[in-house]
């Protein structure tokens, strides 16, 4: 009977992740969003982390905001270029951070100031639209130290 007992145990373990029956669906959430107060009147950058807890990949197809035009940029060999359809892997992350991928705000209608909040909508293939309240921090804000 011993081999049967082992097999049963393995099946129970494998079933753990699908208790809610949605294990295959993408499930994205956003954390750590912030915008350093821009030095420019017309352009700004924004950073955040998209986490996908689901078992299927998702894709960030576009970003919109009421303060101006937004595009996702990636940094390649220290020059930046527009990125389209950024993947969010299953059980993975899509990270926008200083020196890497970033959200690029252009044609700003007003200059965001420290203490304000900018509303950003992230549009995903699977998860639809996720609205993010992005706080404006100081121009030199460092998320690692919180200053
Ligand atoms: Cu850029």
pLDDT at 3: 53
pLDDT at 99 over 70: yes
- Provide the CA 68 distance to its chain's centre, in angstroms: 19
Measured CA to CA in angstroms, residue 81 lies from 25, 54, 107, 119 at distances of 30, 29, 17, 23
For ligand 1, the distance from its centroid to the CA atom of residue 85, given in whole angstroms, is 16
Ligand 1 center to 23 CA (angstroms): 35
Q: What are phi and psi of 106, to 5 degrees?
A: -130, 165
Tell me how far the alpha carbon of residue 146 lies from the centroid of ligand 1, in angstroms. Answer: 23
pLDDT tens digits, one per residue of 10-48: 455 444 444 455 568 999 999 999 999 999 999 999 999
C-alpha of residue 15 to centroid of ligand 1, in Å: 43
Q: CA-CA distance, 66 to 56, in Å (whole number)?
A: 30
Distance 11 CA to ligand 1 centre (A): 47
CA of 89 to the centre of ligand 1 (A): 23
* Distant-in-sequence, close-in-space partners of 3: CB < 8 Å, separation ≥ 6: none
Q: How high does pLDDT run on average in the chain?
A: 88
pLDDT over 80 at 83, yes or no: yes
Distance 57 CA to ligand 1 centre (A): 25
Distance 81 CA to ligand 1 centre (A): 7
Mean pLDDT of 129-137: 98
* Cα 5 to ligand 1 centroid, rounded to whole Å: 56
CA-to-CA dists, residue 100 to 20, 21, 74, 87, 133, angstroms: 35, 35, 6, 15, 21
Residue 36 pairs in a beta bridge with 137
Q: What is the DSSP string of 78-136?
A: TEEEE--SEEE-TT-EEEE-TTSSEEEEES-SS---TT-EEEEEEEETTTEEEEEEEEE
């Amino acid at each position: 009977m011993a081999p049967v007992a082992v097999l049963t145990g393995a099946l129970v373990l494998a079933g753990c992740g699908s208790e809610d029956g949605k294990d295959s669906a993408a499930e994205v959430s956003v954390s750590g969003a912030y915008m350093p107060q821009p030095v420019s009147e017309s352009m700004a950058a924004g950073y955040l982390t998209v986490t996908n807890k689901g078992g299927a990949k998702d894709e960030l197809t576009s970003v919109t905001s009421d303060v101006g035009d937004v595009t996702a940029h990636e940094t390649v060999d220290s020059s930046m270029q527009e990125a389209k359809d950024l993947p969010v892997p299953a059980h993975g992350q899509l990270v926008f951070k200083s020196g890497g991928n970033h959200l690029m705000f252009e044609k700003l209608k007003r200059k965001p100031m420290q203490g304000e909040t900018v509303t950003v909508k992230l549009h995903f293939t699977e998860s639809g639209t996720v609205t993010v309240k992005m706080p404006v921090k100081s121009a030199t804000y460092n998320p690692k130290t919180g200053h």
